[in-house]
Amino acid sequence: MKIRRISKKERKEALQLVLDTFMEYEAPDYSEKGVETFKSFFADENYMDNLVIYGTFIDGKIISVIATRNNRNHIALFFVDGKMHRQGIGRRMFEEVLKNSTADKITVHSSPYAVEVYRCLGFIPTDTEQLTDGIRYTPMTYVKWA
């Protein structure tokens, strides 16, 4: 297993993993509008170009993706292939973000499905669940140097 930055030519494969995992585990908690809003991020080249995306690879295949924005202090995408859940891959991906971030805090807008995952990583909710353009999320923060 190897964790490294995703190249632009690998981005399509990485985003397919994100979309497939979202549709299986998260889309059931969203309205049709929320699903369409989520999918619309993929069409925004400027948004995608401003993400720092890492992937976990096994035998050359991407099995997880984590992407940050805002100088690596906000997690924008964090998905692990469902067949690989509960094997510590997500924790290793998050550790990669911590290693490469100089921010004191890491923030995320967690989907309802992932709130407990983020809690296990040390994130704390900073507000109640929100709803924006059909996307349900809980704002959470991890204090890196606490």
Judge residue 75's burial from the number of C-beta atoms within 10 Å of its C-beta, 0-12 exposed, 13-18 middle, 19 or more buried: buried
* Residue range 129-139, pLDDT digits in tens: 999 999 999 99
Share of the chain above pLDDT 70, in %: 99
Helices (H), 1-146: 11-21, 32-43, 45-49, 89-100, 115-121
Structure-token pair, residue 72: 């690596």
Judge residue 138's burial from the number of C-beta atoms within 10 Å of its C-beta, 0-12 exposed, 13-18 middle, 19 or more buried: buried
Query: Per-residue pLDDT for 20 more than 90?
Result: yes
Stronger pLDDT, 72 or 128, i.e. the higher one: 128
Which range is least confidently modeled, 39-43, 95-99, 115-119, 142-146? 142-146
* Residue range 74-90, pLDDT digits in tens: 999 999 998 988 889 99
Please report the sign of the dihedral spanned by the C-alpha atoms of residue 145, residue 86, residue 17, residue 32: negative
Domains of the chain in sequence order: 2-104 (3.40.630.30)
Between CA 87 and CA 8 the distance in angstroms is: 27
Average pLDDT score over the chain: 91
Could you identify the residue written with the tokens 């100088």? 71
Amino acid at the residue 11: R
